[in-house]
Each structure stands twice: as C-alpha cells, then as structure tokens.
Amino acid sequence: MSKKSMKALREEAEAALKEGVANKQQLFAAVPTLIALQDAVHHMNATIKASNEVLRELVEACSAYEQEHPDYIFDQSTLISPIGVESGDVTIEGRSYHYSRGFNGYVRSDPREQMSQAFLRTLPNDWAKPHLEIDTTAINKANPTAEELAANGLQRKIKNTWRLVGERD
C-alpha cells in the first residue's frame, strides 16, 4: 500500500467536507480519511519537533563558532547597533548570509534556575505581571454541575477524537 502525500490527504479531507457528513454512508467514507490525515499530521508534527530541536542545536553551534572567531568569519567587520545587536554578512559559495545576535527577553542568571512565581515576586514591582489562569484541577475536584458551571460563565469544553482501533505503530 503506497502512502499518500499530506497534500493528497488534505484534498481528500476537503472533498469529504465539501460532500458533507449528513448520513452514515458519508460518515463511513470520511472517517478513514480523517484517520489517515490525523496520523499524517501526527507524524509530520513529530518530524517538525525533531527538526526544530536539531535546528536549534545547529544555530547554537554556528553562533558559538562565530562568537569565538568573528574577525575572520564575516566579509567585513561586524556591526553593533546602539542597542547592542551584533550583525555581519558572510558569503559562502556565492550566496550571502546575514547573521545577527540580539536579545529575546530575559532568563535567569543561573541557567539551572527556573523563572518561578517565587522568583518573579522578588523582582521590582513593575518587572513582572500578575498571571491568572483557570485551575482545571480545582474545578475537576469540585465536580460542579452544568448549572454551577453556567452560573460562573463556564461550560465543559468538548473534545472529539477518532482513532483506528487495533493498529498502532
């Protein structure tokens, strides 16, 4: 059995949506496509995640080398902007590549330490924002009725899933 491309699976799913799912026959025609596309998306996401990890490591390795040897990496000297962003260009096999080293937020001085709530409370008042989020564990523990949820402006979020039974890789 040949594997279909992501594009072919998406087009089949789009065709199933266009046809509609208004009866048992249409449902039975759509579910195998749904499962095939769902599996393809799962595998693609795993591939993207692994690729992003390797990409991040390669960016760090190339950047570390540049930091150690800036004087003979770039075609001209590196530039440093007034806010401290370093940049330079390098030509490799006739193609120009631009490198910049800037800032993207803040991290703990000690990389072993987390940006915990306790730590954030030690920062100057204007340096941290209060953060509220729903506590699903507490709500689940309280086991509220649908009426109690509605009285507080909530309802249970529906999660629909389909999976192929008996065939897992």
Listed in sequence order, the residues at least 6 apart from 146 whose beta carbon sits closer than 8 Å to its beta carbon are: 155, 156
| Predicted pLDDT of residue 167 | 64
- Which residue type sits at 163? R
Give residue-wise pLDDT tens across range 118-139.
999 899 988 998 888 899 999 9
| Predicted pLDDT of residue 79 | 82
Q: What is the pTM of this model?
A: 0.69
The DSSP code sequence of the chain is -PPPPHHHHHHHHHHHHHH---SHHHHHHHHHHHHHHHHHHHHHHHHHHHHHHHHHHHHHHHHHHHHH-GGGTSSS--EE-TT--EEEEEEETTEEEEEEE---S---SSTTS---HHHHHHS-GGGS-------HHHHHHH---HHHHHHTT--PPP------SS---
Give residue-wise pLDDT tens across range 71-120.
777 767 778 888 888 888 888 899 989 999 998 888 889 989 999 989 99
pLDDT at 35 over 70: yes
Angstrom distance (rounded) from CA 3 to CA 43: 13
Question: How open is the CA angle 15-18-22, to the nearest 5 degrees?
Answer: 115
Q: If you average pLDDT over every residue of the chain, what do you get?
A: 90
- Residue spans of the domains in the chain: they are 1-68
Give residue-wise pLDDT tens across range 130-167.
888 899 999 999 999 999 999 999 999 999 888 888 86
